[in-house]
Structure 1
Amino acid sequence: MADSRTAAEPIPGARTAMSPLADLDLNLVVFLRELLAERNVTRAAQRIGVTQPAASAALKRLRRHFGDDLLTRTLDGYELTLLGTQLAAQVEPVHIALEQLFATTSGFDPLSTEREFSVLVADYAAFVIGNPLARRLAAQTPRARLHLTTVRETMTTHVSRSVKVMDAVIAPPVRQLQVSEVRSRPLFTDEWVCLVDAGTDIPDRPGREDLAARSWVLPYHRGGASVSDAPATRFLDRIGIRPHVAVRVESYVLVPLLVAGTDRIALVQRRLAEHHLAQGLPVRILPVPCEHRTIEEHLWWHERFDDDPAHQWFREALSAAATAIPRPKTEDRPAP
């Protein structure tokens, strides 16, 4: 007699391979993300809208699952354990991937979607494209959410992993992204310029020797003798300058503020330099003594998003936002 059970029903007594997720409430990922970010159970509960007892129960379950306290009390509050610190670096891409998985549908309606689009970006690129993109999404997909994650270290460090779980990465062409499973398209261009305090005694068109004699403020520069992965440092190395770095900062946007009032020099993007100059910061913009100083910012995404209707729409929204970016002022190129 034929067995009447459907294929979805397990056969009694049969052995099945159990996933580590089988007995895990995936809502714990949401709580874990907020707990590790806030380092406080009460604030984590408020962030996700649950009661204090529910949050305490979730923390107890997480501690039992990981076999670790995750948080420990100190005189100043709470701090993450070693495992908690490791999990904090891993939970964000996992949370994003789960949101994308459960937001995926067979169709896409910009007016009704509540999907969150995630973008990894340096603060300079967020400064340039953030407002045009936010305006476009607010007008065309008012219920969607945008999550801009700004890098806190050199873009290349984790970019090959990030592009697999985030909707987009905005970055110059780098080796880690130029692989077969990653797609790209150009978004916008800029150019490197030098920035000094307005009162600094340096020629309006400096030569390499003028630049080499100065102390530098450089973003995302790594210490040590080897050339950094940071774009500004790599550019200086390409034009034959090994800078004496006086200030390192994990930001592009802050660089002009760290130059003003000092005798130091920085390499910054022209749009950023012009913005600070227009805001009254006492700085001067100087040309770089090099013909090839263009910066190219590209949109990068993983091939698994190619046929996702929501992602197709988002790619077009990013490209359209890029066309709305005002062009920087153009100065004459320095003589070769």
Structure 2
Amino acid sequence: MNLGNLDLNLLVSLDALLRERSVTRAASRMNLSQPALSAALGKLRKHFADELLVRSGNSYLLTPLASQLLERCALALSDVERVFAATAHFDPAECEREFTILTSDYGLSILGPDFAAAMARHAPRVQIRFEQHSPDIIDHAFERLRVTDTIWLPHGFLSDLPHMDLYTDRWVCVAATNNPAITEELTVENLRTLPWVVNYQTPTAYTPATRQMELLGITPQIQVITDSFITIAAMISGTDRIALVQERLARRISPELGVIIWPVPFDVVPLVEAAWWHPLSDRDVEHRFMRDVLASVAESVSTDPHTT
């Protein structure tokens, strides 16, 4: 295919049409007239030899090909934007880029405030967008990172991607202070018999500590599943439930919740939180700047005696 014969403006039109599924709404989104976008749709239909949008009552549906193109358009536009946003000289004070970071509420609570503050000092015109990651995002991290700047995630989920380690954390158990089943210490038998609060719990989404526990023959009796690490303490308070929590997060639990921290009664592998990104971002000067700021913040967190 000869790209010189293609009008790359049609890529923008295609993205808007597939997302809006309406010529009228797509035209409004692009600040174009409806006839102009209708003409673009005609060219796209001719190029792909496919209707792309087919009427169904008062709305339009995507054809099977259009459904495939929807995600490809987003990836392609992101790559085009990276190409034309590249500059020979970079001044953080003048940068107006938005950085999108996928993380859990745990990672956000540990690094988010200090990282946002540091970015504001060095690059006041930059925007930081934090979004919650999910098992589906983690399963498709390589593709998602083409349109996202970085994902903060412990080792054990991703491989073959550029990354830098941020900090190390330990796993601890948490339980209500008045849990009658726990007396002088938390035991392996407690892990087997007490009800649990866990995160995610899908075949590909689990904490490494949970997987290690199962390898030891300890199968948790799961009673509550939550996507939020921060809500675990509230799910424990006043109940006989237990959970595995990162120590840095456990130390921040409010005393009013009546939750106590117990050592894990087996040798558990520490958690190593890392930032991961797509290889396309390796030489991006703005992305490198963002990573440098993040590395500086992570170093201060790692050496803070109140967070270890």
TM-score range (shorter-chain normalised) is: 0.7 to 0.9
TM-score normalised by L of structure 2: 0.76
Contact 1:191-1:270 at 8 Å conserved across structures? yes
Moved more, 56-65 or 119-128: 56-65
Distance between the aligned counterparts of 1:23 and 1:187, measured in 2?
39
User: Which residue is 1:234 aligned to?
Assistant: 211
Secondary structure of the residue aligned to 1:111 is: helix
The range that moved more, 233-242 or 125-134, is 233-242
Equivalent in 113, 125, 131 of residue 131 of structure 1: 113
Q: Does 1:183 align with 2:168?
A: no
- Provide closer, same or farther for how the CA distance between residues 299 and 97 of structure 1 changes in structure 2, counting only shifts above 3 A: same
Equivalent residues of 2:142, 2:278 under 8 A apart: no
Structure 1 pair 212–115 and aligned structure 2 pair: CA distance change class (3 A): same
Q: Give the number of the structure whose residues are more often helix, by fraction.
A: 2
**Which of 131, 141, 144 is the matching residue for 1:162?**
144
Aligned to 2:279: 303
**Which residue of the partner structure matches residue 217 of structure 1?**
197
1:272 maps to 249
Taking a change above 3 Å as real, the CA distance of residues 267 and 88 of structure 1, as seen in their structure-2 partners, is: farther
Matched letter for residue 201 of structure 2: H
Deviations, residues 220-275 of structure 1 (Å, cap 9, x unaligned): 112xxxx6541153243244321121122222222222222322111111122222
Moved more, 62-71 or 147-156: 62-71
Q: 2:173 corresponds to which residue?
A: 194
Contact 1:217-1:246 at 8 Å conserved across structures: yes
Structure 1 residue matching 2:89: 3-state secondary structure: coil
**Aligned counterparts, 1:17-32, within 5 A:** 17=2, 22=7, 24-28=9-13, 31=16
Tell which deviates more after alignment, 153-162 or 133-142. 153-162
Which amino acid counterpart does residue 306 of structure 1 have in structure 2?
A: D
Corresponding pairs, count: 296
| Amino acid in structure 1 at the alignment position of 2:224 | V
Alignment of 1:254-269 (within 5 A): 254-269=231-246
Q: Choose 129-138 or 285-294, whichever is displaced more.
A: 285-294
Alignment partner of 1:139: what SS? helix
Aligned to 2:53: 68
Q: Which moved more, 1:164-173 or 1:103-112?
A: 164-173
Residue identity matched to 1:129: L
Q: CA deviation at 1:120?
A: 2.4
Structure 1: unaligned runs, 5 residues or longer: 1-15, 331-336
Q: How does 1:73-152 map to 2 (within 5 A)?
A: 96-152=78-134
Structure 2 CA distance for aligned equivalents of residues 297 and 277 of structure 1 = 24
Structure-to-structure mapping, 1:243-254, within 5 angstroms: 243-254=220-231
TM-score by length of 1: 0.71
Shift in Å at residue 27 of structure 1? 4.2
What is the Cα-based RMSD across aligned positions, in Å?
3.9
* 1:148 CA drift (Å): 2.3
1:208–1:289 Cα contact (<8 Å) kept:
yes
Where in structure 2 are the equivalents of 1:32-51 lying within 5 Å? none
Instruction: Give the superposition deviation at 1:203.
Output: 3.2
Q: Which sits farther off after the overlay, 292-301 or 56-65?
A: 56-65
Query: Offset at 1:153?
Result: 2.1
Partner of 1:206: 186
State the identity as a percent. Answer: 28
Which residue number corresponds to residue 260 of structure 2?
284
